[in-house]
Amino acid sequence: MIGLSYAAVPLYRLYCQATGLGGTAVAGHDSSVVEHMSPIKERVLKVAFNADTHASIQWNFRPQQSEIYVVPGETALAFYRAKNPTDKPIIGISTYNVVPFEAGQYFNKIQCFCFEEQRLNPHEEVDMPVFFYIDPEFDSDPRMARVDTITLSYTFFEAKEGQRLPLPGYSYQPQ
């Protein structure tokens, strides 16, 4: 019995990787939501952007807009920019954070630049897009009734070649 509960963790992780559910499986977390959702035009939200780099990485990393106004149920695009001012290639890997915490479950990134290593050549500068939406369910959640600003923060770390950033909660297993 105890063995089975220990096996549950890696089995669940395999299940999540295979089905692409990733972290916490939240209802409505698949692409059919995007196709069928409708914007809730009266609920305007400000999404503020923050960028951090860990002390060890020498990239210049910053958002290209300090904020953007979105509504739940509508896909939105935003940009960060990263520059490698040094003379050697640097590989970075990023993670992100959303505050307020409870709003994070409604913040869905369709595509971005996080959790996989990104390599910048010497003196290279690139645009880094984030394509996301706020789930329309946000508007029905009474806990979110007074939330009108959501802050998205990305942090870049320097990565070694072939490294993948473990999602918090999973133990890291080199591939």
Q: How far apart are CA 45 and CA 68, in angstroms?
A: 8
71 contacts other proteins (rule: CB under 8 A): yes
* CA 23/CA 170 separation, integer angstroms: 9
Nearer to other proteins, 34 or 147 (CB): 34
Among 40, 57, 70, 90, indicate the residue that binds other proteins (CB under 8 A).
Answer: 70
The Cα–Cα gap between 21 and 15 comes to 8
Pairing between strand 45-53 and 60-63? Answer: unpaired
Of 101-140, binders to other proteins (CB under 8 A) are 101, 104, 108-116, 118-121, 124, 126-129, 131, 133
CB of 100 to other proteins, least distance (A): 9
* Candidate ranges 5-13, 55-63, 89-97, 136-144; the one touching other proteins (CB under 8 A): 89-97
Q: Which of 136, 71, 82, 149 is nearest to 112 (CA)?
A: 82
* Torsions phi, psi for 65 (to 5 deg): -140, 140
83 forms part of the interface with other proteins (CB under 8 A): no
Nearer to other proteins, 3 or 25 (CB): 25
Q: C-alpha 74: how far from its chain's center?
A: 17
Minimum CB separation from other proteins for residue 77, in Å? 4
DSSP code of 20? T
Q: C-beta of 20: minimal distance to other proteins in Å? A: 8
- Phi and psi torsions of 169, nearest 5°: 105, -20
Contact flag: residue 97 with other proteins (CB under 8 A): yes
- In angstroms, the CA 62 to CA 90 distance is 16
Q: How far is the CB of 56 from other proteins (least distance, A)?
A: 18
Contact 127, 24 (CB under 8 A): no
What is the binding site for other proteins (CB under 8 A)? Answer: 20, 22-24, 29-31, 34-35, 37, 39, 41, 64-65, 67-71, 74-77, 79, 95-99, 101, 104, 108-116, 118-121, 124, 126-129, 131, 133, 167-169
